[in-house]
Amino acid sequence: MRIKFWIGAFAALAIIPTAANAADTMDGKTLYQTNCAKCHGATGEVSKLGKSLKPFPARNHRAIAKLISRDEMRRIITYGVKGTAMTPKKYTLDALQIEEVIDYIKTFDYTPDLANGKKRFKAVCSSCHGMDARAQTGIGAKNLVYTKLNLTEIVHTMRYGRLNTLMTSKRHQLSNPDIADVASYVNSLRYLANPANGKKLYASNCIACHATPNDIKLIGNAAESFTMADFDDRLLDLRIRHGRHVDRAGKKVEKLPSDSIQDIMAYMRANTN
């Protein structure tokens, strides 16, 4: 009995220092493998256990490591996601260790699959944003070809949606690889307005009545409180190709393609004060 007790005590003593070392480590990779890999997978691609979790599976870190912000990761890791297996980690990791884990996750690389992005876009987004992402569906969805959002912001919009609009969160409808693929696909469709081409189009379509963009006066009450810079591209486009301007400028402006209008607006914006 006595001997057994001492062996047990020594074994316990031998374990304590190693356990303390592991808890104290500042190595992000070690911390990740010890605390996260069980669910998120050793390489950031969800483990078998992670996939089986209810109500929501663990999520792939590899696909979004570079597409979500440190702040967002820090918040989720620190406080967890309520009602899921992602419990708060602030009781097991200190603030610096959390930064180390984030640094490690941020080293994960992912190459988006644009073909899959296109396929998933057609299945999940096209009903509102249109097959060509130009949102001619008339329900208030944004034209994604002209979006001002960068890749990270597109991902954020897809993950969290926009409050009180039809744009709801897609986080539990799409996996992280799908989110990264769709966002990269959307980003690849971006039309980059060309102000040099806009200058030519302005000369052939607008100059007859507005010698320079600075000569343009807003119509109606807007003239008293706003300048063109107060309107985003969508509103300015509406004011040029629709409504009262068509009566003044003629039907020709109505028929200008959207890409031409983008070029003209880029030229106008660069040449008004």
Residue numbers at the binding site for ligand HEC (CB under 6 A): 35-36, 38-40, 53, 56-59, 64, 73, 76-77, 81, 84-86, 89, 101, 124-125, 127-129, 140-142, 144, 147-149, 154, 157-158, 162, 165-167, 170, 176, 182, 186, 205-206, 208-210, 216-219, 222, 228, 239-240, 245, 248-250, 253, 264
Buried b (16+ CB within 10 A) or exposed e, 126-160: beebbeebbbeeeeebbbbbbbebebbebbbbbbe
193 or 216: CB nearest ligand HEC? 216
* Smallest separation, CB 62 to ligand HEC (Å): 11
Q: How far apart are CA 30 and CA 40, in angstroms?
A: 14
Cα first-last separation, the chain:
92
Give me the residue label for tokens 């260790």: 97
13 or 139: CB nearest ligand HEC? 139
Contact between 190 and 147 (Cβ < 8 Å): yes
Tokens of 56: 């929501």
Q: How far apart are CA 83 and CA 32, in angstroms?
A: 22
* Smallest separation, CB 128 to ligand HEC (Å): 3
Q: How far apart are CA 100 and CA 98, in angstroms?
A: 5
Give me the residue label for tokens 């080293």: 107
* Smallest separation, CB 139 to ligand HEC (Å): 6
* Smallest separation, CB 22 to ligand HEC (Å): 13
* Smallest separation, CB 93 to ligand HEC (Å): 6
20 or 162: CB nearest ligand HEC? 162
21 or 127: CB nearest ligand HEC? 127
21 or 212: CB nearest ligand HEC? 212
* Smallest separation, CB 20 to ligand HEC (Å): 18
4 or 148: CB nearest ligand HEC? 148
* Smallest separation, CB 215 to ligand HEC (Å): 7
Long-range pairs for 231-236 at CB < 8 Å and ≥24 separation?
233/146, 233/262, 233/265, 234/142, 234/143, 234/146, 236/265
Give me the residue label for tokens 């209008």: 261
Q: How far apart are CA 167 and CA 165, in angstroms?
A: 5
Q: How far apart are CA 22 and CA 239, in angstroms?
A: 64
111 or 249: CB nearest ligand HEC? 249
127 or 212: CB nearest ligand HEC? 127
Cβ atoms within 10 Å of 9's Cβ, excluding its own? 10
* Smallest separation, CB 2 to ligand HEC (Å): 41
